[in-house]
Amino acid sequence: MASSVTYRGSGVDIDEGDALVERIKPHARRTMRPEVLAGIGGFAGLFEIPKKYREPVLVAGTDGVGTKLKLAFMAGKHDTVGIDLVAMSANDVVVCGAEPLIFLDYFATSKLKAAEAEQVIKGIAEGCARAGCALIGGETAELPGFYQGGEYDLAGFCVGVVEKSRILDGAQVKAGDVVLGLASSGLHSNGFSLARKVLERELTPELARDLLEPTRIYVKDCLALREAVQVHAFAHITGGGLPGNLPRVLPRGHRAVLRRGSWPVPPVFDRIQRAGNVAPDEMLRTFNLGVGMCAVVGKSDAASALELLRARGQPACEIGVIEAAPQLAEPEVVVQ
């Protein structure tokens, strides 16, 4: 008689998955908020909208980490990419003026290693703590033959809430406003395909660990700034850089004029540019170049906004102004 085929024999270990669920429960617990009604372990997470909102509008965002994960595999370092995962969605949600409430993750791999996956989800929990949202669920998928051995992929989903009357959509932006640049922690989670290509000859595990510096989570600083001054817009600087992201929050007939050299550019970007002989414009539209979030405020609020951010430990600079440009079909960014 032929031997019986099992799910484990096919490459999926249910026991390892169960072990992971138990491992991650303590990490998820540290992210809990009073509104959580049911979290990790059920078929779905339940969350009550905070009662302080009179006309709550839900705001949702989703993203991944991208090829930055390749560096995590090379370095054998898995405890920070989860922070990146939360950051990419939570930073998008706060741009609308919303408070991130809940987060869910999707972790897929060829063969599940509970200890390694726990490190990833530990990072996700840390990211949730930094963003102030609760990790209320997720999904772990073991897909033998789908991913290369020793690799995994991540996706994240964040839901926030904002008072309907306080939604930020860029409509308040006007000529004369000031653009503040909030410093990034490095590459964040964008441009790694180019970075890996130009640094491939010098990409050691040690350099990989340096490049794995996690994406900065701006949520609490942005929410605090909004309570202190009248913020007209936020822009999360991701793929596309400043020219690709800041125009998304500018009204038609306006442009942002940024002053090159008005903010510090981390040395890693110069290293990438020199290693690949990358053109300045290509660098500008691929990387954040040291600015991970922009805030657009009135000129009279700029000084107090910068003071607040610096007092909170978030370096920031005045990097440009908004100008009227009625001749433009679409908003744009000019870097001079």
**Among 67, 138, 66, CA closest to 107:** 138
What predicted TM-score, i.e. pTM, was given to this entire model? Answer: 0.92
Which CATH architecture best describes the domain 178-335?
A: Alpha-Beta Complex (3.90)
CB 145 within 8 A of CB 182: no
Instruction: Note the pLDDT of residue 26.
Output: 78
Contact residues for 18 (Cβ-Cβ < 8 A; gap 6+): none
CB 121 within 8 A of CB 29: no
Instruction: Note the pLDDT of residue 32.
Output: 87
Residue 152 to residues 19, 74, 125, 193, 212: CA-CA distances in angstroms?
A: 18, 12, 18, 17, 16
In the chain (336 residues long), the average pLDDT of successive 10-residue segments reads 62 69 77 84 88 97 96 93 98 98 95 91 97 94 88 97 96 97 96 93 84 97 97 97 97 96 94 95 96 98 97 97 94 93
Which CATH architecture best describes the domain 14-166?
A: 2-Layer Sandwich (3.30)
**Among 222, 211, 214, CA closest to 182:** 222
- How far is it, in rounded angstroms, from Cα 46 to Cα 79? 27
CB 288 within 8 A of CB 238: yes
Instruction: Note the pLDDT of residue 9.
Output: 64
- How far is it, in rounded angstroms, from Cα 31 to Cα 26? 9
Instruction: Note the pLDDT of residue 145.
Output: 86
Instruction: Note the pLDDT of residue 314.
Output: 98
Instruction: Note the pLDDT of residue 210.
Output: 83
**Among 180, 139, 168, 306, CA closest to 232:** 168
137-159 core/surface letters (b: 16 or more CB in 10 A; e: else)? bbebebeeeebeeeebbbbbbbb
The phi and psi torsions of 167 (rounded to 5 degrees) equal -60, 135
- How far is it, in rounded angstroms, from Cα 83 to Cα 90? 10
Domains 14-166 and 178-335 share a fold: no
Instruction: Note the pLDDT of residue 309.
Output: 98
CB 280 within 8 A of CB 243: no
Strands 134-142 and 99-109 come out as parallel
Is 220 strand, coil or helix?
A: helix
Any idea where the domains of the chain sit in the sequence?
14-166, 178-335
Instruction: Note the pLDDT of residue 332.
Output: 94
Instruction: Note the pLDDT of residue 10.
Output: 55
Instruction: Note the pLDDT of residue 2.
Output: 59
- How far is it, in rounded angstroms, from Cα 122 to Cα 37? 21
- How far is it, in rounded angstroms, from Cα 315 to Cα 302? 14
CB 84 within 8 A of CB 192: no
- How far is it, in rounded angstroms, from Cα 171 to Cα 323? 14
